[in-house]
Structure 1
C-alpha cells in the first residue's frame, strides 16, 4: 500500500513537471559599446542570464568597462583594441577646458565641434577596422556561425553590431538612443522638423519660425556629419560584403526591434513606429539600505535633508577654482552634502560635506531625505532622478548632457548652470532655488508617478521583445520597408508632380476647348456682320 501511494505521488509529480512551461534558454550574441553605454547594456545581459539565456559578449582586447564575467556571460575577445584610457582621458580633459573657454571665445566653440568630430571620426575608424578584421577571420566567423545564435543585441551608436548581425544573417535588436548622426528616432520614425526637435538644438516641440529654421539647419548639419563619418569607414565594408547598391543606413533601418532608452516622461510627443519599444528607466530599481556609516550621516541632516552630487563615472573632479566655489557654496547650506569627488580636497569644504570616491547613486536618490541631485545630465542619472522623484541641478559637461538637461529644465524639474560661468554665488543661488521653490520637486514627483504608472516594468518589456524576436526569428511584420524608398517616393513628390501635371493638362485642354468654341461662335458672328 505504501509503495502504491509513493507511486501515485511520483506520477503526480511527473505530470506537474511536464505541465510546466519550457525554460529552454536562447543564445544571445551581444556587440556592445564601451564606456557608459556598457552600464545599461550590462543590465540587459544580466537579466537575460537570470532568465536562462546563454550570453556571449564580443569585447576588444583593451576595454574601459567591459570585463570578464563568466558567471553572467562568455566573451569573445578580439585582437583589436579600442581607444586607450590615456587617449580618452586626454579627450575628456580637452573637452572640459574648451567648455570653460566657450563663454568668452568663439574659437573655443568652433574648436569643441572640431574636437568632437575628429574623435568620432577616429572611433568609427577603429570600429570599422575591427569589423573588417572579424569578417576576414575565417576561424572566428565559422565559430560564430556554428554557435547558432538566436539574436544579436547591439548598441548602434557605432556600426559594428549592425554589420555583424547582417553578415551572420541573424535577427537584430537594438539597445538604442543614439545612432551615428544623432537621435535614433530619425532613422526609423517619421520626424517632422516643424515640431520634433533635433538633438542638440535645445528646442521644445513648440517652436517659433526662427526656431524651426534653426532646427532644420542643425538637421542638415547632422546629415553632413553622417556622410563624413560613415562614408569613409563603413561604406567600403558595406559595398564589399553586402553589395554595391547597399547603404549602411538601410542595414540599420532593417533592424527588427528598437529598444529605445527613453520614454515620454523624458521625450517630447512625437510620431513613433510599432517596432520602437520604449524602455526608459529600465535600469532603475528600488533603493537598497545604505551602509551604517552613510545612513548615520544622512540621518544627521535632520529635517533639512541631503544633497547628492556626482558628475558620472567619467569625471571625478572639476578644475580647482570651480571646485573651491562649489565647496564654499555647500558650506553655507544647512543640508548635508554627499559629493563624489576624486581630486584635491577643497580648502573651502564645510563640515556638512562628505567626499567619497564612489557613492551608491541609486540608493541615495531613493532615500527619503534626499532633496536635490547635482548632476552632469547623463541619461542614466536623469532617469534615476525621474524614477525617484528628485529634482536636478544640472552642470552639463559634454555629449548629450546639454540636451538631456534642457529637456528636464523645459519640464520644470531642473535648473541648469553653465560650467563656464559658474561660481560660488551663482551655484548657491541655483541650489537654493531647487531646494526651496516647491515647483521643482512637485513637477519631478509628477513625472515619477507618470513614469511608474505603466502596466509592465520597462526591463520586463525589454525582455519580452528580445525573447519575442528569438521565438519568431525576427519581427518583420512590425518593420516598415519605407527605408527602401527614395526620398521622392517617400514624400510622394512623384505623385504630387503627376497630379499637378494632370491638372495642368486638363486646364490646358479646357482652355483650348473654350478658345476653339470662342472662335467658332464669335468668329461666325463677325463673319455675318461683315
Structure 2
C-alpha cells in the first residue's frame, strides 16, 4: 500500500492514512501522507508482531500433526474461530464512528475516494460512512481470496487458496476442493462476517452487510496477474497489477557490492523470509545454515533470530537487505524465499529461480504456481532436513530448466503495454475524475441464488415439459376411450 501512496503523492495527491495507535508497520510520520491515528481502548493490541510469531508456531504445529485436509480445516476453524484481528478491527471502527470530532474532521476534508485493502474491512466500513467511491488494493477479503467474492469461480478448476492444488485436479482433488470451499464458506458466513454485519446494522440500517459493501467497490486493483495466477473468469472492474512494486535494481551499498563481487563464478544466493515473521525456530535455522555451508556459492541471509551454530564462512547475516536490488544484481543466482507475493513478483521481474520454504497464509499456493511452471522448488518446512535443503538448492542451481523457465516468466512480465504501477494510478485517478465507476460494476450479487444459477428457469422449463407431457398423455387417453366406445357401439 505504501508504494501506491508514494506514487499518488508523486502525482500531487493529498493523502490521509488511518492507522491504529498500536500499528508497528504503518508509521505515524511520513513525507508522503498525513496520518490519522486512532487510539484503541485499553487491551486491544492490533497488528502485533508477537501475535504473528505465535500464529506461525501454532500453524506449524497443526501442519506437522495432521494431513492436508485435516490441517486445512483445523487452521481455518482455529484461526477464524478466534477472529482476534477482525474483532479488534471492528472495535477500531466503532471507536472512530463514536468520535464525532474525528468523523466531522474526515467529512469536512471532502476526500475524493477511499483506497483500502479489504482483507481487514475497516476501510470498507469507513468508505460507506463517508459516502465515498472506493478502490481496493486487494488480494484478500476477510474470509478468502477476493475472486470468490466478485467473479464466477467454478471449483472444478479453480483451487481454493490453502488447498495447494493446481488448476488441473483429479476426481479426489476436486472432491477435496469442494470440501475446502464449504469450509471457507462457513468461515465467511458464520465466523467472520457477523463482526462486520453487526456494525453495518448499527450504523447503516437494514439491507446493508459486508457482502454488499464489498460489491460496491468501484475498482479492484488485484495484486496478481496471469503470468503468475492460473487462468480464471474475471470482471470488468478488476485491474491486474501484479508486480506493480517491481523496478530496475539500483546500485548496492559498497559493502554488499564488494561481497557480491567476491563470489566469483559461483555467484550468490539471496535468502529472506519476509518482514512479518521475526525468525524461524533455531533447530530449523541450524539445518539451513549447515546446508549453505556446503555450497561453493556465497549467501546473503536476512536473519533476525539467534546466530545459527552451524553458520559457514560463505554466509553473511544481515537484519535488513535491499531485496529488489539484490535480486536484480547480475551475481544473484537463486532466491531462497517464503513465498510472499511481493518477493515472488520481484524474483519473476528479475528472472531469479526460487527455492521455497512456505510458512503461512497463501505462501504454499504461491510457490506451487511457480513450481507448476518449473521455476521453483518447494520444500515442506515441518520435515525439512539439511540434506533436503542442500539437494533442493543444488537442483535449482545446476538444472538449467529452472533458470530458463523463470527467464520466460520474466519476459512475459515485462511484455505489457502499460506498466502495472501506471495502470494502478490511472484507474485510481479515473475513479476520482468520474466520481466512481458504477458502469463497470455487476449487480449480479443482488440476485437470489436460485435466480443466479437459473434454478427458477430450470424449474419453469421442467414444469412446462411435464405439463406438455401430461397434456399429451391425457389427450391420448381420451382418444383411446373414444375409440373404445365407438368399437362397443359398432359391435
- TM-score between the two structures when normalised by the length of structure 1: 0.88
Q: Does 1:92 align with 2:57?
A: no
Aligned to 2:364, the other structure's residue is in SS state helix
Which stretch shifts more, 124-133 or 90-99? 90-99
Q: Deviations over 1:50-95 (max 9, x none)?
A: 0011101111111111112342111111122796489541542452
| Mean Cα deviation higher: 475-484 or 202-211 | 202-211
How many Å separate the matches in 1 of 2:127 and 2:72? 38
C-alpha distance 370-411 of structure 1, shift in aligned 2 (>3 A): same
What does residue 91 of structure 2 align with?
Answer: 129
Tell me by how many angstroms 1:374 deviates: 0.4
- Who is 2:373 aligned against? 411
- When residues 260 and 87 of structure 1 are mapped into structure 2, their CA distance, relative to the original with a 3 A threshold, is closer
- 341-350 vs 382-391, which moves further: 341-350
Worse-matched range after superposition: 350-359 or 82-91: 82-91
For 1:512-523, list aligned pairs within 5 A.
512-523=474-485
3-state SS in 1 of match to 2:233: coil
> Match of 1:473?
435
Match of 1:454 in 2: 416
Matches within 5 A, 1:361-376: 361-376=323-338
Structure with greater Cα Rg: 1
Residue 71 of structure 1: aligned partner:
31
The question of 1:102 aligning with 2:63 is answered yes
Structure 2 counterpart of 1:387: 349
* Higher mean C-alpha deviation, range 518-527 or range 170-179: 518-527
2:12 & 2:437 partners in 1: Cα distance? 22
In the TM superposition, 1:212-251 aligns within 5 A as: 212-251=174-213
**Shift in alpha-carbon separation, 1:331–1:101, aligned structure 2, 3 A:** farther
- Between the aligned partners of 1:395 and 1:469, the Cα distance in structure 2 is 39
User: Residue 155 of structure 1 contacts residue 161 of structure 1 at CA under 8 Å; is this kept in 2?
Assistant: yes
Residue 322 of structure 1 and its aligned partner are, at CA, apart by: 1.6
Aligned to 2:448: 486
In the alignment, the residues of structure 1 paired with residue 80 and residue 444 of structure 2 have an alpha-carbon distance, to the nearest angstrom, of 30
Q: Secondary structure at the match of 1:213?
A: helix
Contact 1:281 1:387 in 2 (8 A): yes
Give the C-alpha shift of residue 346 in structure 1: 2.1
The aligned counterpart of 2:300 is 338
SS of 1:364 mapped into structure 2: helix
2:122 aligns to what? Answer: 160
The DSSP-based 3-state class of the residue aligned with 2:161 is: coil
Give 1:439 deviation, angstroms. Answer: 1.2
**SS in structure 2 of the partner of residue 420 of structure 1:** helix
Spell out, residue by residue over 1:22-48, the C-alpha distance to the aligned partner (whole angstroms, 9 max, x if none): xxxxxxxxxxxxxxxxxxx00000100
Structure 1 contact 391–444 (Cα < 8 Å) conserved: yes
Counterpart in the other structure of 1:28: none
Q: Is the 8 A contact 1:193 1:216 kept in 2?
A: yes
| Aligned match for 1:117, one of 80, 84, 109 | 80
Q: Is the 8 A contact 2:135 2:221 kept in 1?
A: yes
Q: 2:72–2:162: 8 Å Cα contact kept in structure 1?
A: no
Q: Of residues 21, 27, 33 in structure 2, which corresponds to 1:61?
A: 21
Note the alpha carbon deviations across 1:307-337, whole angstroms, 9 max, x for none: 0011111234322222122111111111111
1: distance between equivalents of 2:74 and 2:148? Answer: 27
Q: CA deviation at 1:230?
A: 2.9
In the alignment, does 2:287 pair up with 1:325?
Answer: yes
Answer whether contact 1:145 1:168 (CA < 8 A) is retained: yes
Which of 295, 316, 320 does residue 354 from structure 1 map onto?
Answer: 316
CA-based RMSD of the aligned residues comes to 1.9
1:248-295 CA distance string (max 9 Å, x none) = 101111110000000001110000100000000001111111112111
Q: Are the counterparts in 1 of residues 46 and 88 from structure 2 also a CA contact under 8 Å?
A: no
For 1:231 and 1:97, locate their aligned partners in 2 and report how far apart those are by CA, in whole Å.
Answer: 24
Alignment counterpart, residue 430 of structure 1, candidates 389, 392, 399: 392
Q: Write the distance in 1 (CA, Å) between the matches of 2:52 and 2:340.
A: 17
1:177 to 128, 139, 149: 139
Question: In 2, distance between residues paired with 1:85 and 1:438?
Answer: 45
Distance in 2, Cα, partners of 1:450 & 1:471: 31
Is 1:299 the counterpart of 2:257? The answer is: no
Aligned to 2:104: 142
Q: Distance in 2 between matches of 1:131 and 1:173?
A: 19
SS in 1 for 2:220: strand
- Give 5+ residue unaligned stretches, structure 1: 1-40
Match of 1:52? 12
Paired residue for 1:261, among 204, 208, 223? 223
Does the Cα contact within 8 Å between 1:100 and 1:419 map onto a contact in 2? no
Given that residues 124 and 229 in structure 1 are in contact (C-alpha distance below 8 angstroms), is that contact kept between their aligned partners in structure 2? no
SS state at 2:335 partner: strand
Partners in 1 of 2:46 and 2:467 — Cα distance?
67
The count of aligned residue pairs is 488
Output one character per residue of 1:1-40: Cα deviation in whole Å (capped at 9) or x when no partner.
xxxxxxxxxxxxxxxxxxxxxxxxxxxxxxxxxxxxxxxx
